[in-house]
Structure 1
Amino acid sequence: MIYSDLIEKIADKNVNVNEFAKAVLHDESTRVEVIKQLLTNNNIMVYYHCYYIISRASEEKPELFYEYWNDFVYLLDHKNSYHRDIGLTIIGNLTKIDENNLFSSIFPKYIEHFNDDKFMTAQCFVKNLKNVVRYKNEYIEQIIKLLVDVEKICIYPKKQKELLKSDIIEVLDAVYENTTNKDVIVDFIRSQSTSESPKTKKKVKQFLKKHGL
């Protein structure tokens, strides 16, 4: 595929993400080019669609993207919050195959995004923690401590903070059976039963019912 044609197709608002994800997985030259566009193209329709494609592909075969680890780490400090989202998501996917334990050196930087300048990036961070706790059990207790301290750490307006707690509850639910700090989790979640966020209150009810509390 001629790369100018590839970029044009990726930029299309109706881009077929699944089709491109398959191409990225099965053709190295396409994979290299899509990653290049993800990292360097300034057109949001290009780099953000590349994000969808690489995110999908790296969920299926993260080992194909491990060599680009440092490139994705670089995005965590990007001035554009969309690029920080990209770094958070793809690194989260790559924790599954992090055989060299590269995540250990960036953990402090990664969790800084719990209080990112952009609220949506903080949401992205929390959602991607589900992969981190699934594949990096050694961080479970630290992550629990971080999340239940949301009121002190995050500076967002109350309405946003209450919404963020719905995502936090999902992560705490994911680690609940693998922690000795169940009481800490339950106390935090019970305290959200009067949240002004309907989504968060719903998550509280679901968690308590699931675990017979």
Structure 2
Amino acid sequence: MTRDLITKISDKDVNIDELAEKTITDPEMRDKIVGLMLNHQHIMVYYHSFYIICRASQIKPELFYPYWDDFTSLLNHPNSYHRNFALALLANLTPADNENRFQSILNDYFLCLNDEKIMTACKCIKNTAKILESKTELTDEIIDILLDVDNRSDFSLKQKALLKSYIIELFYKFYGQIIDQKPVAEFVKGELDNISPKTRKITRKFLDKYS
């Protein structure tokens, strides 16, 4: 089964939705695909396995909660793709996190704001939306981390400008959920002259709505 599964998953035209459904209904299939994502060396195998798990865990996060520690271990993986997998999958699992395990990895999760890859840092921020939706009690702690992005990341000015566009998008979406809004408003106002057109655009959108 494993060899046939690897052949199927590695196909560039693999049906992600079909395999995601099978992963949901078949515990053995689920375990095999998680194993392929974690351990297989071929990019088409581990990347397609991630797509399958990501889709399935959005639908049934509780089925993948037993793999929490496996996914957490990927935060320190030498391959940036696998670090990206961790960011997405852990965020997907937060609705099923009844044991509040995310709290214990929160700092490790947001260390990715200073990843060696700018796209991993961006994915960290993008996936934060899922976390804020299901972990509202962590809102202010997470917002404080994002407000401190200049001190927490060593990226160039241009790269930080990109990061801030994603941060302000989060602020725009979750502003009503934030208790201490003043530092957020001040942060956003400070980006009106940001070098990134994208960041300036979302800044104006935020200020038009919340000023």
Q: TM-score category by the smaller chain?
A: over 0.9
Partner amino acid for 2:81? Y
Whole-angstrom CA distance in 1 between matches of 2:45 and 2:16 = 12
Partner amino acid for 2:59? E
Report Cα offsets for 1:145-185 as digits up to 9, x if no partner. Answer: 11122222211111111011111112222321012221211
- Establish whether residue 45 from structure 1 lines up as the match of residue 82 from structure 2: no
Whole-angstrom CA distance in 2 between matches of 1:56 and 1:197 = 32
In the alignment, structure 2 segments of 5+ residues that lack a partner are none
Cα RMSD for the two superposed structures: 1.4
Query: Does the residue aligned with 2:154 lie in a helix, a strand or coil?
Result: coil
Partner of 1:202: 201
Whole-angstrom CA distance in 2 between matches of 1:169 and 1:124 = 14
Whole-angstrom CA distance in 2 between matches of 1:30 and 1:135 = 27
Partner amino acid for 2:204? K
Partner of 2:183: 184
Partner amino acid for 1:27? D
Query: Does the residue aligned with 2:76 lie in a helix, a strand or coil?
Result: coil
Partner of 2:122: 123
Give the drift of 1:102: 1.2
**Identity of matched residues, %:** 42
- Greater CA drift, 166-175 or 77-86: 166-175
Q: Any runs of at least 4 consecutive aligned residues in structure 1 with deviations exceeding 4 A, and if so which?
A: none
- Greater CA drift, 176-185 or 67-76: 176-185
Partner of 2:72: 73
Whole-angstrom CA distance in 2 between matches of 1:199 and 1:14 = 33
In the alignment, structure 1 segments of 5+ residues that lack a partner are none
- Greater CA drift, 21-30 or 51-60: 21-30
How many corresponding residue pairs? 211
Partner of 1:17: 16
Provide the TM-score with structure 1 as the length reference.
Answer: 0.94
Give the drift of 1:140: 1.2
Partner amino acid for 1:49? H
Partner of 2:192: 193
Whole-angstrom CA distance in 1 between matches of 2:146 and 2:130 = 15
Partner of 2:99: 100
